[in-house]
Chain A
């Protein structure tokens, strides 16, 4: 089944903040399904790009299309998981029900299944904000997947989580690929990028400087800045 939101085309995207171009003419075309990992040093504009793609920020210039759709038109086929999950002040189960009221009404057992998929079924009736950081992020992911998104955006979603939760989240993301979901993931974790990425987009100073299949990128990055980044050098 071809994904309705592919190819994703971003052309000449500019975003000005405080008089500085934080996104400075981003051009990117992603035609392949699977997992795209966006990497790059701090301040490169990775998160901002993701937020533009998701419609949380209106860019000052440039265009984004997803398949035949604009950002706004594709919104209900997108889901995003943030670095710090924001959960409602309700139980785990109620958090899922809020995200997908239709599902909650017609197939409530789907909510339990979603909890099971992130091993939180036993926590269904606990206040969501009492869960551990890893559990909260798992719940946030389950919430995002409930609407069966065509595009899943993850913004450093596993940063500083316990290894078990990271593993669970990675596994779940991989199963989504099999169901035809396109995943775009921002990560600082090279190990994670190597484990998950089908292709890599490398950003620096508000621009995309390199886009390669994952194997090529990790074997031989084309740009010096990517090379330095992978070598673990501190980039200022």
Chain B
């Protein structure tokens, strides 16, 4: 039996090509179609074949800590720094940003559209007793959302299951749930713009500084994970951080709107070699 399994394994395994890498990624970059747009260009320039495993930021980081990825592309700065500090990542670079927005039903029962800041938005939602759908999955967006509640001095867990609904799912699934329930949802703008099941919901609050959403790229350390394809991972990261990559990110649009704004630090880029 062992032989047989081995035989099948050999017959069906895809040989690890020198220039194939696995990227543990957040979902927004995949769901918004960014990878479909970028990867063919990247492959043409660098020859690297990129396989995307799109899960929440929390899961992506955990997977990378088990060495099941060559590069991490996520958006939860504090966790990324912990990752680096633990020796799992070679380095972390700012890659691009977009922002988070709060969507909800067009008639806006909690009247958040006129709020002055995020704190007020959240207070109005809680006071109105309308539903709020949370990721509840330890993802980058979820972590950010928890910080926002904290800043507004509200403990949403008190209303868990009543008005505060933790879906424990990805952004898309949470949006599906939120939209059907007429609930408010915190989402990244890219996923929302590309989302096809908006129904009666729309962006009700945006543009406040706490809603800034920074994406980072981290090649996994070959010291910690000897199996990583660090050369190809390096090519991947460097292409994204290069002028070509940054311009390509800026050029990506859905329905005439730019979804991600490149902000790789050019000065750091030039001094990147950490041998």
Whether chain A touches chain B in the assembled complex (some CB pair under 8 Å) = no
Q: Using a CB–CB distance below 8 Å, which chain B residues touch chain A?
A: none
Q: Using a CB–CB distance below 8 Å, which chain A residues touch chain B?
A: none
